[in-house]
Amino acid sequence: MENIEQHVDLLPKNITESTLIHLRLGDVVAGNEWHEKLKRPLEINYIKSLLADDINPKYVIGKCFFGNESSKNYEECINLSNVYLNNVINELQAEYFNSGNADIDLFCAIKSKIFVQGRGYFSKLIGEIRKKLNLNSFETETCI
């Protein structure tokens, strides 16, 4: 928490009053391997249902990620990730927060009022940290 406070100027000014949504993008969007299929992005309507009564400003974090074992259809995954990201932003009237740094994204997720867990290990890590700090989160199905 001390490290977060040292970098709070890099976070959105209203992050403590905001809902942060983490999206797993990249290989999982259109990859063909079993582990990619298990982590397909959350349906937009599912996210909307979680946040039906939420009036907080909303931010989205997430970048295209490709693991060593990823499918090689990179261009397709990137293009479909961009479409998905834009659809989430538009549907939820959210703002994309692109810090360019995983630590800053983590800080942002911890400082947010509400966190919506995406799929994958980074999102799971954030959810576990928030649990230990007794912070509000929406855990989502089949997070690996």
Residue numbers of the domain that contains 15: 2-138
SS3 44: helix
pLDDT of residue 67: 87
Low-confidence ranges of the chain (pLDDT < 50): 143-144
Tens digits of per-residue pLDDT, 14-47? 999 999 999 999 999 999 999 899 889 999 999 9
Give me the pLDDT at residue 142, please.
52
Q: Looking at the domain assignment, is residue 143 inside a domain? A: no
Return the SS3 of 96: strand
Please indicate, yes or no, if residue 116 is contained in any of the structural domains: yes
Q: What is the CATH number of the domain that holds 116?
A: 3.40.50.11350
- Work out how many domains the chain is built from and give that number: 1
Contact 71, 36 (CB under 8 A): yes
In a domain, 144, yes or no: no
Model-level pTM? 0.93
Rounded Cα distance, 47 and 106, in Å: 20
**Residue 29 identity:** V
